[in-house]
Amino acid sequence: MSDELNHPEIDVPEELRRNVAITTLDKIYNWGRRSSVWPMFWGLACCAIEMICTATSRYDLSRFGMEVMRPSPRQADLMIVSGTVTKKLIPQIVRLYNQMGEPKYVIAMGACASGGGPFKEGYNVVSGVDQFVPVDVYVPGCPPTPQALLHGFAKLREKIDTQSVTSVRWYQKAPVEPIPIPLLGPDLINPRDLPALRDRAAQPAAAQS
């Protein structure tokens, strides 16, 4: 492109020589998405208070283009799992994730959402939301500060910058299948594990032991 502009037979104005930008479709596409990520406005536990503080004027989410927190999953493209994820709640989390349109991202905010936190050994807590929905960025802390969540936003923007329209899942020919909703009974059952559970139940008791 620069050789064409410097060719003596092409009369290019001087102001155009200084302002011609060479870019790619991926850069334009990623710039538009990274500059207008809309989080879903919901919270689970104490981490949600820190998330709300991040939206105040002191930390200024507007500079990231993320100040528009939407009350509906169909209008949001970022799920911030901010707090303890219980077995009773994970079916609703997966359902909301499936209702979000592509492209969509997930931030696991805090120790509880990332790995169960101090309640990991509890009977009613999921040891990490990533067992059911794909997580793009983990924000450590118990609870993490608003600055830590801002750092998570920056990392998410860096990830978006590296994506290409030729490889992202929402532009593939095959349809994006929704995540199976976990089954809550006497205990939480992941539908992905049902074939293995059926095979184990079909085995003789002696073989299982």
Alpha carbon of residue 143 to chain centroid: 19
Sign of CA dihedral 126, 107, 170, 102: positive
Confidence of residue 5 (pLDDT cuts 50, 70, 90): very low
Identity of residue 32: G
Q: What is the pLDDT of residues 51-62, one digit of tens each?
A: 999 988 888 888
pLDDT, residue 64, reads 84
pLDDT, residue 24, reads 77
Residues in the chain: 209
**Other Cβ atoms within 10 Å of 87 Cβ, number:** 16
In the predicted model, what is the mean pLDDT of the chain?
85
- Whether residue 160 is predicted with pLDDT greater than 50 in this model: the reply is yes
Q: What is the pLDDT of residues 91-106, one digit of tens each?
A: 999 999 999 988 999 9
State whether residue 15 is helix, strand or coil: helix
**Could you tell me where the DSSP H helices lie in the chain?**
2-5, 14-19, 25-34, 46-54, 90-99, 110-115, 146-161, 194-202, 205-208
User: Are 135 and 106 in contact, with CB atoms under 8 Å apart?
Assistant: yes
Mean predicted confidence (pLDDT) in 151-168: 91
pLDDT, residue 187, reads 82
pLDDT, residue 4, reads 47
pLDDT > 90 in the chain, percent: 43
- Whether residue 205 is predicted with pLDDT greater than 80 in this model: the reply is no
State whether residue 209 is helix, strand or coil: coil
Confidence of residue 65 (pLDDT cuts 50, 70, 90): confident
